[in-house]
A and B are shown apart, each in its own frame.
Chain A
Amino acid sequence: MASNLDAVLKRLANEALLIRRNVWRAFHAAGSGHIGGSSSAADLLAALYFHYLNLRPEEPDWQERDRFVLSKGHANGALAAVLAQAGFFPDSHLDEFYGYQTLMGMHPDIKLAGVEMCTGGLGHGLSVGVGMALGARLKKRQSRTVVMVGDGELQEGSNWEAAMAAAHLKLSSLTAIVDYNKVQQSGHVRDVLGLEPLVDKWQAFGWSVRELDGHDMAEIVAALDALPYLADMPSVMIAHTVKGKGVSFAENTHLWHQNMIDDEVYQKAIDELGEPL
Chain B
Amino acid sequence: MIAMPDSAVNQAADQTRLAFGLALTEMAERDDSVVAISADTLDLFGLRGLVQKHPNRVIDAGIAEQNAMGIASGLATTGMRPFLCGYAPFITARSVEQLRNDVAYAHQRVVIGAAASGISYGVSGGTHHALEDLALMRALPNITAIVPADSYQAWKAVFATQAIDGPVYIRLGGRVPEPPVSDPDAEFHVGRADCLRQGDDVTIIACGCLVADAIAAADLLSRRGVAARVLNMHTIKPLDRDAVLAAAAETKGLVTAEEHRITGGLGGAVAELLARENPTAMRMVGMPDEFATVGPTGKVREGYGLSSANIVTSCLELLA
B75 touches A135 (CB 8 A): yes
Contact A165 B77 (CB under 8 A): no
Q: Contacts of A138 on B, CB cut-off 8 Å?
A: 33, 35, 56-57, 75, 78, 80
For chain B residues 53-84, which have a beta carbon within 8 Å of chain A?
A: 56-57, 59, 61-62, 64, 66-80, 82
Number of interface residues of B (CB under 8 A): 32
> Contacting B78 at CB < 8 Å: which of A127, A139, A161?
A139
Which of B56, B74, B100, B107 is the most central at the interface, judged by chain A CB atoms within 10 Å of its CB?
A: B74
Q: Is B219 on the interface with A (CB-CB < 8 A)?
A: no
Residue numbers in A under 8 Å from B235 (CB-CB): none
- Interfacial chain B residues near A164, Cβ < 8 Å: 62, 64, 67
CB-based contact A165/B74 at 8 Å: no
Q: Are B75 and A124 in contact (CB under 8 A)?
A: no
Selecting from A114-122, A222-230, A262-270, the interface stretch reads: A114-122
Is B272 on the interface with A (CB-CB < 8 A)? Answer: no
Contact B70 A128 (CB under 8 A): yes
Q: Tell me the dominant secondary structure on chain B's binding face.
A: helix
Residue B40 interfacial (CB < 8 Å) = no
| A136: interface (CB < 8 Å) | yes
Contact of A155 with B by CB under 8 A: no
Binary per-residue interface labels of chain A (123-167) against chain B in the complex, 1 for a CB within 8 Å, 0 otherwise: 111111111111110110101000000000000011001101100
Give Cα distance in the complex from A168 to B38, angstroms: 14
CB < 8 Å neighbour of B76 from A118, A119, A131, A157: A131
**Extra contacts besides A131-B73, A131-B74 (5): CB < 8 Å:** A126-B70, A135-B76, A136-B78, A138-B56, A165-B62
Contact check, A131 vs B72: say whether CB atoms are below 8 A apart: yes
Interface residues of B in 103-118 (CB under 8 A from A): 105-107
**What residues of chain B lie closer than 8 Å to A139, measured between beta carbons?**
78-80
Contact status B78-A162, CB under 8 Å: no
* Chain B CB within 10 Å, residue with most, of A117, A120, A141: A117
Q: Counting chain A CB atoms within 10 Å of each CB, which of B56, B75, B78 scores highest?
A: B78
Question: CB-CB < 8 A to B71: which residues of A?
Answer: 127-128, 130-131, 134, 162, 165
- Contacts known (A130-B67, A138-B56); A158 close to B105, Cβ less than 8 A: no
Cβ–Cβ contact B57 & A165, under 8 A: no
**Does B98 count as interface, using CB distance less than 8 angstroms?**
yes
B77 with A124: CB separation less than 8 A: no
Closest to B95 in A: A158
Interface residue A248 (Cβ < 8 Å from any Cβ of B): no
Bound-state CA distance A131–B106 (Å) is: 14
Chain B nearest Cβ from A71, distance in angstroms: 10
Chain A contributes a number of interface residues (CB within 8 A of B) equal to 35
- Can you name 23 A-B pairs with beta carbons within 8 Å? A117-B102, A117-B106, A118-B102, A125-B70, A127-B71, A127-B73, A127-B102, A128-B70, A128-B73, A128-B102, A129-B74, A131-B72, A131-B76, A131-B78, A138-B57, A158-B67, A158-B98, A161-B61, A161-B64, A161-B67, A164-B62, A164-B67, A165-B71
Q: Is the CB of A131 within 8 A of B98?
A: no
B67 touches A162 (CB 8 A): yes
- The answer for the CA separation of A169 and B60 in the assembled complex, in Å, is 9
Contact with A along B90-133 (1 / 0, CB 8 A): 00000001101110011100000000000000000000000000
- B27 CB → nearest A CB, Å: 15
The docked-state distance in angstroms from the alpha carbon of A188 to that of B95 is: 29
Specify the chain B residue showing the minimal Cβ separation from A129.
Answer: B74
Say yes or no: A127-B66 contact (C-beta < 8 A), given A134-B59, A165-B61. Answer: yes
Q: Does A186 have its Cβ within 8 Å of any Cβ on chain B?
A: no
Assembly CA distance A136 to B33 (angstroms):
11
Contact between chains at A118 and B57 (CB < 8 Å): no
In the bound complex, residues from chain B placing their C-beta under 8 Å from that of A126 are 70
Q: A222 to chain B: closest CB distance in Å?
A: 28
Residue of A nearest to B80 (CB): A135
Residues of A within 8 A of B107 (CB): 110
Check if A102 is an interface residue, CB within 8 A of chain B. Answer: no
Of chain B, the residue at the smallest CB distance from A137 is B56
Instruction: Report the separation of the CA atoms of residues A229 and B47 in the bound assembly, to the nearest whole angstrom.
Output: 35
Q: Is the CB of A131 within 8 A of B66?
A: no
> Is the beta-carbon distance between B74 and A134 smaller than 8 angstroms?
yes
Among A197-247, those with CB < 8 Å from B are: none
8 nearest CB pairs, A to B: A131-B74, A127-B70, A135-B78, A161-B67, A161-B64, A131-B71, A128-B74, A132-B74
A10 CA to B76 CA in the complex, in Å?
A: 38
Residues of B within 8 A of A132 (CB): 74-75, 77-78
Q: How far apart sit A158 and B33, CA to CA, in the bound complex (Å)?
A: 26
